[in-house]
Structure formats: C-alpha cells, structure tokens
Chain A
Amino acid sequence: MLKVSQLTKKFGTFTALNGVNFEVGEGEIFGFIGPNGAGKSTTIRILLGLIQATSGEATIFGKNVWSDAVEIHKRLAYVPGDVHLWPNLTGGEVIDLFGKLQGEMDRKRRDELIARFDLDPTKKCRTYSKGNRQKVALVSAFASEADLFILDEPTSGLDPLMEQIFQESVLELKEQGKSVLLSSHILSEVEKLCDRVGIIRQGEIIESGTLEELRHLTRINFVVETKERIVGLESLNGIHEIEQLGDTLSFQVDSSYIDEVIRHISQFGIQKLESTPPTLEDLFMRHYEPKVTSAQGGRSQ
C-alpha cells in the first residue's frame, strides 16, 4: 500500500531525513511517532508529492509519489496538524470545494460527519478556532472515498470529547479495511489505534514493529524482597538502575535477560516479586532521549 525505502531529504546542507524505511500494509493503522523536528512532517510532505526527496524511493498504491501524485491523490486523504483555510469562505464551502476536487463526496456522509464533529459549517473560516479549522479538514477527509489516510497530528487542537470521536472514526475506517498513517504526539491515541508504530529520530527510523514487539524490546520494572541480601546483581547483563530501599530492591531488566535475572535472584529466597510492564511513555521516552544509542535501546543482537 505505502512503501518507503532509503528516503533521504536534504534542505541545503541540513539532512532532515536520512535513509528512512517503513511500510504500511492494507487495512493497517501505522503510528508514526518521534520528537519535535524528527522528520515526520517532512516524510509526509514527500509522500504527498509536495516536496521532492533527495534520494530514495517512496510509493503509494505501487505508484511513485512525485510523478504520479495526481493519480495517487484520488484515493488519498490528508489532514495536517495546522489547518489554514480561506478566511472569507465558510467551513461548509471549503468542505465542498475539497470534495469537488477529490472527485466525489457522499453528501449524506458529509452532513453526518459535520453533525458528529459538532461543526458549524455556516461560519466564515476567519472566525473558526484552531480546533474548528481542524474539524473542517477532518470532516472532508473522512467524507472522502479514500483508501489511504495520511494524518499529521490531526488532533492537536481537539478537545477530549472530539478526540474520542476522532478515534471512533479512525476505527471505523479500519473496519472498512482502509489504511491510515497517523503521526501523533498523543501516545494514548497511538496505543489505542495503531497496529504498528515506527519511531523516527533525527531523520532515522530507530524502531518499528507492533506495540507488543516494541514492549519486548524494552525493560521491565521489578521490585523484590528477598530473605537474604542479593549480591552480584551488578555483574549480570541487561540490568539497570538498581536501587535499594530498606528491604526492597528495585531495578529494571532488559526483556531479553529476564530469565537469567530471575534465576539469579531466586537463589536468595524471594518473598515478594512485583513486575510492571513498561508504559508506553517509558518506552517512548527512552527513544526520545537524545543520548540513547540503538544498542542500549535494546535492539536484539
């Protein structure tokens, strides 16, 4: 459906993207996350044929994103994070204009979505708040017959209620077998919606896979109490942030070393053992931190 390989983009001497690879399959929701300035929007703008890649290849529906942009866009819908509209047109007019340019739009679905997102289509865009401008873009995207949806921080201005409605709408798309590329900073949203995620940092994809897979690649928090004092823990592989608090000991273990660690501590007579899986926040935070190298990030050897 969507395939990006070795995508590189330079702005003058600055390398914004450096060999990005990922794929979005049919009927899949792909989360695209990373810190500010990582290159998410740049990738998306290349996918939309708005800017030209310096090197590498990107295809959608098997077609080249730059030379076949018009063909591709007939079956594609896009929502930017920062929606700018014509100040003296109404929201309804803009939705219709987009619909007409797209080719066809289901009137019933359009009105249904306007009602669902609680948008007043008779107001001039000049008077819309940020969230309302975003709704205009969302309504015209969801009302289209597209097969692929590219959403770049589509909810950055929405209130929690609207966020909920947005999520429902995306899940509906999924039921219809449509594909979504969702870039977002709202991790709970990504966790709820996405089948797979790709993490980009400084123009490189540093991790991608299903959430389960990513969890496996990370550390698990342990808190233990043992009869005897545990010794020799430091010398084990894959163990981090050991902290002694009275009788209890807390530490983190890279998921691939859990077995060895448990074997080791069980020698000391476990009285209490708590393990908590990493939250998504933990998971992402570690990738977002600037100093983390991919080896420490738990990439399996």
Chain B
Amino acid sequence: MSQLVFAQTGILSRFIFRQDRWRIMFWIVGISLATWSVPIAFKDLYGLEEQRNVMALTMENPAMIAMVGTADLSNYTIGIMTAHQMLLLTALVVGIMNILLVARHVRGDEEDGRLEMIRALPVGRLSNVHATVIVFIMVNVALAVISGLGLYALQIESMGLEGSLLYGATLGATGILFISVTSLFAQMCESTRGTIGFSIGFLLIAYMLRAIGDISAESLSWISPLGWITKTETYGLNKWWPVFFLLGIALVLFVITYLLNARRDVGAGLLPSKPGRKYATSFLKSPIGLSFRLQRVGFISWAIGMFVLGVSYGSVLGDIDSFFQGNERLEQMIASDNHLSAVEQFLPIIMMVMAIIATIPPIISMNKLVGEERKNRLEQLMAKSISRTQVMARFVIVALVNGMVMLSLAAIGLWSAGTLVMEEPLSFREFYQMGIIYYPALLLILSLAVLIIGWVPRLTSVVWLYLVYSFIVVYLGELFQFSNFVIQISPFGHIPQLPLEEMSWMPIIALLSLSSLLIVTGIIGYNRRDIQG
C-alpha cells in the first residue's frame, strides 16, 4: 500500500528539481553570499571590542530587540553579533524562499490542471507532495551545509565549527518547517495565491509573536517557532534543541499533510468555497471594479496586516521611552543631538520600514495586470471596446489607492497603540505626517512597476529587487555605515525624516514629478507593445 501511494516519487523528484534548478541555485547562492558577507563587514567595522560594546548598548533598545531578537549582549563577539543581527532575518528569507518554491508544486500544478494528467498515470496519490518535500528538504540541507561551512571557512576568531554548523542548521530547519507549513496550507486552499498568502501570514504572525514575546511576554516567544531561532545562542552556548524542535514540528505537519492529501479530491481544498453571486454588482461593473475585485481578499488581508504591524510597533514605543530614561549614558548620547525624545529619534526608522512593507501590496496589485495577461485572461477584456490606456489606468488607480490605504493604516495603527503606551504621546497629526510623507517614495517604486509592465513585462521582478535593496540599505545602512550615495539610490533615502529633520519639499516634488513621468511613459509603452498569449 505505502509503496503505491508513493509510486514514482523518484521520477517526479528529478522532474521537480530539473524545473527549479536555476531558481534553487539562485536562492542558495544569494542567501549564502549575504550570510558570508556580513561577518566580513563586521570585522572591518566593529573589529574592536569597544566598538562592539557600543553596538551592544544600542541593541538593548526594545525596538531593536523587536526587530532582531535577543542575544548575549555582555559578550558581543563578531560571531554573536552576526548571529544576533542576521540569523533571524535570514531565517525569514529562507522561510519565504520555501513558501514561494514549494507552493508552485504542491498547489500550482494542481490549480493549473497539470497534476490531473500526472495523476492519471501510474503515480501514487502522495507522490507529488512527497517528491516536492524530498527535493526541498535536500535543498535546505544543502543550504545549511553550504552556508554553515562557508561561515567557518571565513576563519573569524569567534566563529567556530560548531557555531557555524548550527547557524546553517537553524536556517535549514526553519526552511524545512516552512516546507511543511506551505504544503499543509496547500491542502486547505484551492489556489496558489491562497496557499502563499496563508503561509506568509503564518510567517508574519510567528515573527510578530516573537517580537512581542522578546520584549515583554516571554511565553509568546516560546509559542512562536521563530522565537526559538535566537534561543540557539549561536556562537555563544550553541544549543541544538531548537533545531530539533523545528524539525519535530515539521514532521508532525508533514504527517497531517499526507493524511489530508491522501483523502481529498484533486483540485479541491478543505476550506469550502461557497457559490458566488448570480449577477455582477454595480461596483464590479464600474471602471475600477474588476481590477479591485480580482484582489479583494489580498487587499483586505494586507490592510489588516499593515494595521497590526503599526499597532505592534506602536506598542513598543512605551518600552523605548522607559528604556532610555533608565539609562543615563544613552540619554546623553541621544540628547546631545537635539531636544527630541528617544521615541522621536526612532520613529523615522520604524516608519520607513513600515513604508517599505506598505509598498509590497500596491506592487502586487499592479503586477496583477501582468498576471492576468500571462493567464490569457486579458484578451477577453481587450476585445471589448476599452482602450489599453483605460485598462492600465484602472489598475494604476487601484494600486495608488491601495498604497495610500496601506500607508495610512500603518500610521494609524502606530498612533493608536503609541498614544496608549507613551508618556507624552505625539498628536495624531504628527504621526500621520510622519507616515504619509513616505508616499512619494512608495509612488516612485510603483511607477517603476508601471514603466516595466508597459515596456518589458518580463522584468517585473526588478521592482522587487529594488524594494529589497531599499530595505537593506534602510535596515542595515547604519550598521554597515553605507555611504550617502548608496542610501540615496533608494527613493526612501530622499524623504525627510520627520521629526528628526526639517521638512523639505524639494525631494518630494522631485519624486512626484518623476513618478508621473514614469507612469505616463509606462502607459505609452503599454499601448505599443504586444499583449502576450
């Protein structure tokens, strides 16, 4: 029997690997290079113990703990510093990698009707899931070994063999956990989008629970699997149990996945899909109705997500306040600059990170236009008496509104929790200004997406790279002491950091005009190029 449900797994595994080998290579190389470059940079920038101790001091800040987690700050070696600042973040990236890669196989093939032909051959009921799981477990093992041995090969004093292997193993185990999470959600959702959405939602919730847990409620970090990652104390005490915990949970989820998969219908999910409306609502028939409707669920989930993100950051503002008040040396360090409070010093960076995250949903929304095109669903629309300019403009408008809503919700969330916990809360107006000031930067990235869709739709991923770049320079800019030029390649680097800096309209106006120009150029391109398929 077991032979039969897994029949032909071998051939399917090789087939899956063949399809994805370049993607897999790209991810492993990218993640490993990033992992190796960090300690090298740290050795240059923070070679002296005094330098590291200053860094350790700023890392006691709850805002930082919320972002990167806890560590032994009393013995802040290069190794511990690397693990502290990078391990959790890299694990998130590994999680996303696995979600994106695995969902294509455990749900994508089924949704697109390809699995049906495979399953009509003498192939077991579980073979496809099993083959996917095997391939990606091997990918994660490879990632663990490569990144871990590479770290050891750097021959940095505080980075021994065991710690390096543990570093890699933690990444690999997190990856394997997310294989299981994704394949479990694939049993419940009928679509790849749903599967990816739920899995990423799980990842973010786990990250957020850990953040809250690390700051105030220890028990929450124990519930969240991502909370275990910093508990490895890599390059410090080198504890291996979190790795086994992660693998254990993954094993349980795999068993549940297999049981569910073996008994459900091909094409079906376990979450019921209810019958839709008989007639289109007048909203659906309105010009932007269709483009909005196609992404309604995503929009609502992101909106809730942004608000919760704002609330989460807002809730640590009080801790930041009291943290600095208790620490005279830090207070002096900051107060020497100007008369602003500690919170006000940190708000711009928090806002910037939220603004970058708020850029994701409008880009997804805009890219939907390419997605529809690739699925050949646009032809039917284009065949109606509607110009290409109209088609594109509708998606642009929806994305513009989307970005505005996301950014506003993040700011409102920050304000609503912030006012509760801060001793001297800022006004709603101040909070909102701090957030919405980033809209022009968001707009620039969105308009770049429009430009690319208009001219070379193949390259839509460039926009994501640009956004990731922005995130890295913002998030790590201070840490690595990047030059101004590097930071200003990102539009987010041009926005005046209220209330730290003076308001200046020049960059805002420049970004707005450049964005308009890109959008118009994009629409022109869209009118000229071939619609595929």
B121 and A102 form a contact (CB under 8 A): yes
**Chain B 509-520 near chain A by CB (<8 Å), digits 1 or 0:** 000000000000
Using a CB–CB cutoff of 8 Å, the interface residues on chain B facing chain A are: 4-5, 7-8, 11-12, 15, 19, 112-114, 116-125, 263, 265-268, 272
CA distance A272 to B122 in the complex (A): 61
Q: List 28 A-B contacts (CB under 8 A).
A: A45-B116, A45-B266, A48-B116, A48-B119, A50-B267, A51-B266, A51-B267, A52-B263, A70-B122, A70-B123, A71-B4, A73-B120, A73-B121, A74-B122, A76-B120, A78-B120, A80-B116, A84-B113, A84-B114, A84-B116, A84-B117, A85-B114, A86-B19, A101-B8, A101-B11, A101-B123, A102-B122, A137-B117
- Return the contact of B122 from the options A12, A73, A80 (Cβ within 8 A): A73
Smallest Cβ distance from A297 to chain B, in angstroms?
Answer: 30
Within 8 A of B (CB), among A46-89: 48-52, 69-71, 73-74, 76-78, 80, 82-86, 88-89
- Return the contact of B117 from the options A12, A69, A74, A80 (Cβ within 8 A): A80
A101 and B19 form a contact (CB under 8 A): no
A101 and B119 form a contact (CB under 8 A): no
CA distance A155 to B64 in the complex (A): 63
A86 and B113 form a contact (CB under 8 A): no
A52 and B265 form a contact (CB under 8 A): yes
Q: Which residues of A contact B15 (CB under 8 A)?
A: 97
Q: Which residues of B contact A49 (CB under 8 A)?
A: 119, 125
Instruction: Tell me if A100 counts as interface (CB < 8 A to partner B).
Output: yes
Instruction: Tell me if A98 counts as interface (CB < 8 A to partner B).
Output: yes
* Highest count of chain B CB atoms <10 Å: which of A50, A51, A80, A89: A50
Q: Which residues of A contact B113 (CB under 8 A)?
A: 80, 82, 84
Smallest Cβ distance from B195 to chain A, in angstroms?
Answer: 18
CA distance A45 to B123 in the complex (A): 15
**Chain A 276-299 near chain B by CB (<8 Å), digits 1 or 0:** 000000000000000000000000
- Return the contact of B268 from the options A51, A88, A98 (Cβ within 8 A): A51
- Return the contact of A50 from the options B7, B12, B265, B272 (Cβ within 8 A): B265
For B113, the closest partner residue in chain A by CB is: A84
B4 and A70 form a contact (CB under 8 A): yes
B266 and A101 form a contact (CB under 8 A): no
For A13, the closest partner residue in chain B by CB is: B275
For B268, the closest partner residue in chain A by CB is: A51
For A78, the closest partner residue in chain B by CB is: B120
Q: Which residues of A contact B124 (CB under 8 A)?
A: 70
Instruction: Tell me if A103 counts as interface (CB < 8 A to partner B).
Output: yes
Known A69-B125, A84-B112, A85-B114; judge A50-B4 contact (CB<8 A). no
Q: Which residues of A contact B120 (CB under 8 A)?
A: 48, 50, 73, 76-78, 150
* Highest count of chain A CB atoms <10 Å: which of B113, B116, B122, B266: B122
Q: Which residues of B contact A74 (CB under 8 A)?
A: 122
Range, interface on chain A: 20 to 34
- Return the contact of A70 from the options B7, B117, B263 (Cβ within 8 A): B7
CA distance A50 to B125 in the complex (A): 9
- Return the contact of B19 from the options A48, A69, A78, A88 (Cβ within 8 A): A88
Within 8 A of B (CB), among A85-109: 85-86, 88-89, 97-98, 100-103
Known A80-B116, A100-B11; judge A12-B121 contact (CB<8 A). no
Q: Which residues of A contact B5 (CB under 8 A)?
A: 70
Q: Which residues of A contact B4 (CB under 8 A)?
A: 70-71
For B118, the closest partner residue in chain A by CB is: A101
B116 and A71 form a contact (CB under 8 A): no
CA distance A98 to B12 in the complex (A): 11
Smallest Cβ distance from B27 to chain A, in angstroms?
Answer: 18
Smallest Cβ distance from A260 to chain B, in angstroms?
Answer: 48
CA distance A198 to B170 in the complex (A): 60
For A48, the closest partner residue in chain B by CB is: B120
For B12, the closest partner residue in chain A by CB is: A101
Q: Which residues of A contact B265 (CB under 8 A)?
A: 45, 50-52
CA distance A102 to B7 in the complex (A): 11
CA distance A80 to B117 in the complex (A): 8
For B274, the closest partner residue in chain A by CB is: A12
Which 9 residue pairs across A and B have the least CB separation, nearest first?
Answer: A78-B120, A51-B265, A84-B113, A50-B266, A73-B122, A101-B121, A74-B122, A70-B4, A70-B7
Smallest Cβ distance from A132 to chain B, in angstroms?
Answer: 14
**Chain A 9-31 near chain B by CB (<8 Å), digits 1 or 0:** 00010000000000000000000
Smallest Cβ distance from A145 to chain B, in angstroms?
Answer: 12
Known A70-B123, A103-B122; judge A86-B117 contact (CB<8 A). no
Given A73-B122, A103-B122, 20 new contacts (CB under 8 A): A45-B116, A45-B265, A48-B116, A48-B119, A48-B120, A50-B116, A51-B266, A71-B4, A73-B123, A80-B116, A82-B113, A84-B117, A86-B19, A88-B19, A98-B117, A100-B11, A101-B122, A101-B123, A102-B121, A137-B117
